[in-house]
Amino acid sequence: MTRTILAVLALLSGFTAQAADKAPMPAALMHEIDGVYKHRFQNTMAVPGQADQTYESEDIVELLPYDDKHLYLRAHLEFANGHTCDIAGMAGYQHGAFVYHDPTPPQPGERACALRLHVTDKKLVLTDRETPDAEATCRAYCGARGDLDYEIGREARSEIRYAERLKKSKAYRQAVQDLKAAESSQGR
């Protein structure tokens, strides 16, 4: 009986080690997915008493490695009637996803925004919900019709040719400042 248990444990530890070998480390994964992802589509402007008007919209997700554990994440998503979601920050690798934690809650007493970026073989998945039916935590970054539950195919990836300009942007500098403040408050 003991030999059987030991054999099963050895077999399971072998599978665990193999799974760990196949899972990319955060730095390697960042370099697999870094870039800009764009999706153009026809959107709608609903005007009361008139026929809906269409216009071209574009969703943009930018991913730029900062260090071995953090990735700059910016998302600009467009929705009907001109509503948008705009969010940017440093996302750290936690439990198999890159997670951006807003340093301050949008309203006193509300939960702070936590935006997760999951990576699959074929797509990037953004969500600000802990579970599919949970309340969104990043509503303050979106207009009335927008949300941060979003998927985009990895084939939409292009190189960020403007990385140096991006690093000088107000949003990037703020993300670095917020990350450094969070790390110093945690004693790192």
- pLDDT tens-digit map of 88-101: 999 999 999 999 99
Alpha-carbon gap, residue 188 to 16, rounded angstroms: 30
Order across the sheet with 53-65: list the strands: 150-153, 123-127, 114-119, 97-101, 84-94, 70-78, 53-65, 35-45, 157-158
- pTM value is 0.83
Q: Is the pLDDT of residue 166 over 70?
A: yes
- 146 CB contacts (<8 Å, ≥6 apart)? 77, 79, 83, 84, 85
Mean pLDDT, to the nearest integer, of 31-45? 96
pLDDT interval class at 109 (50, 70, 90) = confident
pLDDT recorded at residue 89: 97
pLDDT recorded at residue 18: 41
Q: Is the pLDDT of residue 5 over 50?
A: no
Sequence ranges of the domains in the chain: 24-185
